[in-house]
């Protein structure tokens, strides 16, 4: 059999059997459908670039943790020529499928049972035949939920181990660990006793929605060139020449668009992609909506404002245009992704979900503490469509509107950072599974697979700051830290415990960015780059350069006290059978198979576990 990392795998457009009527219904004309017989396919490269590029912590083995935790570079490991093919498969389900190709994993085990050669060979053949059938059943399980949940649990356990080591290094390291743990892992909320409750307000309406009027001064005949009034049209035109580039400077667009970056970017992208024409969106209605949307972002919020929304929208636009994904998504899905990016933080108050929960806010009560802000952003974004001359989807069919709404809801809810590990596990499981399966084909003809890619695309765009050029990245870092510190000041005023990285007196900006890259951004973008290889390699290079810059500017921290390890309880996870590395479990069980234990019982045991 070929080695797992040598098996080619292709990403193809949707099922080619759909009729032209279905394509038209979803906003794609048969003339440029991604389903044509000549449409390109994408090879998912299964070998990793060797050399000096860093691998994320997901590729660490247990032996790596014998190293000193004080070694700063331990947070990522350099690619090693000593890796075997199996080392590059890290998600449990893909490891199981990889195991299918070589059931003993190359390990020779001497059976303790007394069997003749003929009996042993027959038992092995029968058992492997049953194993093959059972694994075929496992392979049909959708990798979106039950199977990738094992990877999520494994990644959380590995991240917990990394954070425990980081917190041993210094006080600031402990604070960075606490921030990553509390922000990017979906844990049970530890709710503080709330401040005195304000007088109850009616919750029958969506808070934050204001009556605004932009339509009276707009018409298709008098529409500005870039959708916004500006005295710097030539300068703005020059900046928009880079609209399709990752190095696009959104700060200069804001400067030249009369501080209307979101309206300007949305107008430029929709014009370039001809979405106004495709979905028959009246231009004055479109501009009215995006200006109303932009007005519902808070200009006094340092980071989560319309500038950030414009940046995420433009980044999503570039990711949608990556050559590897050419002709993969329908126009309706592209429309939904751009709309989701534009509304994903509307009416953001500049504080975290946990702050809203801890203060017993109206929003937390309305959404039952679950993805509070993300639910609110969706509600506001869709509610604004009901304002005068704002329904940009007025000419979509009922089916198209329903499909778009479902897509947008899925994508915006995925921007809840506490879902990060689940998103990462979903994507990595899908990519690795298709590398080692016999078919090796990812058709993306199921909604769960298509939305999985779109969710991660918007999530990547939302976490794209560290992959931008250093001057842009540093501006974003200054803004997010300012927003964190403002929340910390509010918590201090209320007598609350100050959230991690929100105390302006103790936070280490440089260390927070190195940890943010090592444990969150790098593993995500590494997986995305694997999906669209080689299109994102330059982004990974920039990410590494930015990490090195922050690492080199990091102030040296004093050594922790000897009893530091006693303070790590908050980062420990309770491990269950589901958390175990499935490949290790299989190898262990296979040893006992040689003494007469039937492997089919083991596989059915695992099947029950996967589908529970």
Collapsed DSSP state (helix, strand, coil) of residue 77: strand
Q: Which pLDDT score, from 0 to 100, does residue 551 have?
A: 95
Q: Once rounded to an integer, what is the mean pLDDT over residues 351-370? A: 97
> Mean pLDDT highest for which of 301-315, 422-436, 564-578?
301-315
Measure Cα distances from 541 to 18, 50, 456, 470 in Å. 40, 13, 20, 12
The secondary structure element, H or E, covering residue 42 is strand 42-43
More confident residue, 328 or 255: 255
- State the CB neighbour count (10 A cutoff) for residue 510: 16
- Asked if 9 contacts 439 with a C-beta cutoff of 8 angstroms, the reply is no
The CATH class, in words, for 154-187+217-563 is mainly alpha
Query: Does residue 57 register a pLDDT over 60?
Result: yes
Rounded (10°) CA dihedral 204, 210, 213, 219? -80
Q: Is 443 annotated as a binding residue?
A: no
Edge-first strand listing for the sheet containing 42-43: 42-43, 10-11, 441-442
pLDDT grade, residue 275 (50/70/90)?
very high
Bridge-partner residues for 54, per DSSP?
78
Residue 320 has a pLDDT of 98
In whole angstroms, give the CA distance from residue 334 to residue 400: 13
CB under 8 Å, gap of 24 or more: what pairs does 250-258 form?
250/307, 250/310, 250/311, 250/314, 250/472, 251/307, 251/472, 251/475, 253/310, 254/307, 254/310, 256/230, 256/232, 257/226, 257/228, 257/230, 257/232, 258/228, 258/229, 258/230, 258/231
**Residue tagged 């201090």 (tokens):** 492
Averaged over 218-246, what is the pLDDT? 89
Q: How many CA atoms lie within 13 A of 323 on its CB side?
A: 7
State how far the Cα of 167 lies from the Cα of 109, in Å rounded to an integer. Answer: 41
Residue 513 labelled as part of a binding site? yes
Q: Do residues 303 and 251 lie in contact, with contact meaning Cβ atoms separated by under 8 Å?
A: no
Contact 417, 480 (CB under 8 A): no
Q: Which of 397-406, 568-577, 600-609 has the lowest mean pLDDT?
A: 568-577
Q: How far apart are CA 229 and CA 239, in angstroms?
A: 16
| Chain mean position to CA 75 | 20
Least confident of 84-88, 390-394, 411-415, 432-436: 84-88
d(C-alpha 602, C-alpha 597), whole Å: 9
The pLDDT value given to residue 123: 78
H helix or E strand, kind and range, residue 289: helix 283-295
d(CA 83, CA 81): 5
Neighbours of 203 (CB within 10 A): 11
- Flag whether 306 is marked binding: yes
| Average pLDDT value for residue range 509-525 | 95
- The segment with the largest mean pLDDT, out of 104-113, 176-185, 245-254, 592-601, is 245-254
For 500-526, what is the mean pLDDT? 94
Q: Give residue 442's pLDDT band: very low, low, confident or very high (50, 70, 90).
A: low
User: Which residue shows structure tokens 């860093």?
Assistant: 54
pLDDT tens profile 179-212: 777 777 765 444 443 443 444 444 446 777 777 7
- How far is it, in rounded angstroms, from Cα 344 to Cα 584? 40
- For the segment 375-394, the average pLDDT, to the nearest whole number, is 98
> In the structure, what pLDDT confidence band is assigned to residue 141 with cuts at 50, 70 and 90?
low
Provide the sign of the torsion angle of the four alpha carbons 533, 537, 539, 544, taken in this order: positive
The answer to whether 13 and 40 have CB atoms below 8 angstroms apart is: no
Indicate whether 530 pLDDT > 80: yes
308 carries a ligand binding annotation: yes
What average pLDDT does the chain have? 76
Give 54 or 414, the one with higher predicted confidence.
414
Q: 7 or 28, which is more confident?
A: 28
Per-residue CA distances from 417 to 51, 180, 354, 460, 585 (Å): 32, 10, 12, 11, 31
Asked if residue 609 belongs to a known ligand binding site, the reply is no
Closest of 526, 518, 423, 493 to residue 179, by C-alpha: 518
pLDDT of 425 strictly over 70: yes
* pLDDT beyond 50 at 35: no
Residue 305 marked as a ligand binder: yes
Predicted pLDDT at 140: 55
Of the pLDDT bands very low, low, confident and very high (cuts 50, 70, 90), residue 468 is: very high
How confident is the model over 84-128, as pLDDT tens digits? 434 477 776 676 666 655 544 444 344 455 778 888 788 788 777
pLDDT given for residue 44 in this prediction: 63
Q: Name which residue leads in pLDDT, 469 or 560.
A: 469
Residue given tokens 């909506």 in the structure block: 289
Q: For 50-59, 335-344, 478-487, 499-508, which range has the lowest pLDDT when averaged over its residues?
A: 50-59
Q: What is the mean pLDDT of residues 415-434?
A: 91
pLDDT at 482: 98
Q: Output the pLDDT for position 58.
A: 73
Per-residue confidence band for 440, with pLDDT thresholds at 50, 70 and 90? low
Rg of the chain on CA atoms, in Å: 26
Query: Does the structure show a pLDDT above 50 at 253?
Result: yes
Q: What is the pLDDT of residue 100?
A: 58
Give alpha helix (H) positions in 32-116: 92-101
Decide: 175 and 507 in contact? Cβ < 8 Å. Answer: yes
Active site residues: 304
For the chain, domain boundaries: 154-187+217-563
Give the count of beta carbons closer than 10 Å to the beta carbon of residue 242. Answer: 14
From CA 191, how far away is CA 83, in angstroms rounded? 44
How many angstroms separate the CA atoms of 55 and 563, rounded? 31
> Cβ of 1: how many Cβ atoms within 10 Å?
9
Helices (H) and strands (E) in the chain, counts: 24, 5
With beta carbons less than 8 A apart as the criterion, state whether 262 and 290 touch.
yes
CA distances from 514 to 51, 76, 226 (A): 21, 11, 38
448 pLDDT higher than 90: no
And the tokens for 130? 């049953």
Q: How many CB atoms lie within 10 A of CB 437?
A: 18
Category of 444 on φ-ψ map: left (φ > 0), alpha (ψ -120 to 50) or beta: left
Lowest mean pLDDT among 243-252, 315-324, 335-344, 564-573: 564-573
Give the pLDDT confidence score for residue 539 in this predicted structure. 97
Is 214 part of any known ligand binding site?
no
- The label of the residue with tokens 């279905």 reads 22
| Least trusted range by pLDDT, from 168-177, 368-377, 405-414, 514-523 | 168-177
Q: Which range has the worst mean pLDDT, 53-57, 291-295, 329-333, 364-368? A: 53-57
């Amino acid at each position: 059999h070929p080695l797992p990392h040598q098996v080619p795998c292709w990403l193809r457009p949707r099922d080619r059997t759909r009729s032209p009527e279905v394509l038209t219904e979803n906003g794609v004309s048969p003339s440029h459908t991604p389903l044509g017989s000549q449409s390109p396919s994408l090879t998912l490269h299964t070998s990793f670039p060797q050399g000096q590029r860093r691998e994320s912590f997901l590729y660490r083995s247990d032996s790596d943790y014998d190293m000193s935790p004080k070694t700063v570079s331990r947070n990522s490991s350099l690619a090693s020529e000593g890796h075997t093919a199996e080392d590059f498969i890290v998600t449990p389900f893909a490891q199981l499928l990889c195991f299918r190709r070589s059931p003993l994993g190359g390990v020779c085990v001497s059976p303790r049972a007394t069997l003749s050669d003929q009996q042993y060979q027959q038992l092995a053949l029968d058992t492997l035949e049953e194993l093959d059938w059972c694994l075929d059943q496992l392979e049909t399980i959708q990798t979106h939920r039950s199977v990738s949940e094992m990877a999520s649990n494994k990644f959380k356990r590995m991240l917990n181990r990394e954070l425990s080591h980081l917190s041993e290094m210094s006080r600031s390291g402990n604070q960075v660990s606490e921030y990553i743990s509390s922000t990017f892992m979906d844990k049970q909320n530890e709710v503080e006793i709330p401040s005195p409750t304000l007088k109850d307000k009616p919750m029958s309406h969506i808070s934050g929605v204001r009556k605004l009027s932009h339509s009276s001064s707009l018409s298709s005949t008098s529409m500005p060139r870039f959708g916004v009034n500006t005295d710097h049209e030539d300068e703005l035109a020059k900046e928009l020449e880079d609209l399709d580039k990752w190095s696009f400077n959104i700060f200069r667009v804001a400067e030249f668009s009369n501080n209307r970056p979101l309206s300007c970017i949305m107008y430029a992208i929709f014009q370039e992609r001809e979405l106004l024409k495709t979905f028959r969106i009246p231009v004055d209605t479109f501009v009215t909506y995006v200006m109303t949307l932009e007005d519902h972002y808070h200009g006094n919020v340092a980071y989560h404002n319309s500038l950030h929304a414009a940046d995420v929208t433009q980044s999503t636009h570039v990711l949608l245009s990556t050559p590897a994904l050419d002709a993969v998504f329908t126009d309706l899905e592209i429309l939904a992704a751009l709309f989701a990016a534009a509304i994903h933080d509307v009416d953001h108050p500049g504080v975290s979900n946990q702050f809203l929960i801890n203060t017993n806010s109206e929003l937390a009560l309305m959404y039952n503490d679950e993805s509070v802000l993300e639910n609110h952003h969706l509600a506001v974004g869709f509610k604004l469509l009901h304002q005068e001359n704002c329904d940009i989807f007025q000419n979509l069919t009922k089916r198209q509107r329903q499909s778009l709404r479902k897509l947008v809801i899925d994508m915006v809810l995925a921007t809840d950072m506490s879902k990060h590990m689940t998103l990462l596990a979903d994507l990595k499981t899908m990519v690795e599974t298709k590398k080692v399966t016999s078919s090796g084909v990812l058709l993306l003809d199921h909604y769960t697979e298509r939305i999985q890619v779109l969710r991660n695309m918007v999530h990547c765009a939302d976490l794209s700051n560290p992959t931008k050029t250093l001057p842009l990245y540093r501006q974003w870092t200054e803004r997010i830290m300012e927003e964190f510190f403002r929340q910390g000041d509010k918590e201090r005023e209320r007598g609350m415990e100050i959230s991690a990285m929100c105390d302006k007196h103790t936070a280490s900006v440089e260390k927070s960015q190195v940890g943010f890259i090592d444990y969150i951004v790098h593993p995500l973008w590494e997986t995305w780059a694997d999906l669209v290889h080689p299109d994102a390699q330059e982004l990974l290079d920039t990410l590494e350069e930015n990490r090195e810059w922050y690492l080199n500017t990091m102030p040296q921290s004093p050594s922790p006290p000897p009893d530091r390890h006693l303070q790590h309880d908050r980062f420990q996870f309770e491990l269950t059978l589901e958390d175990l590395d499935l490949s290790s479990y299989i190898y262990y069980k296979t040893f006992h198979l040689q003494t007469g234990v039937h492997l089919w019982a083991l596989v059915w045991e695992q099947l029950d576990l996967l589908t529970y």
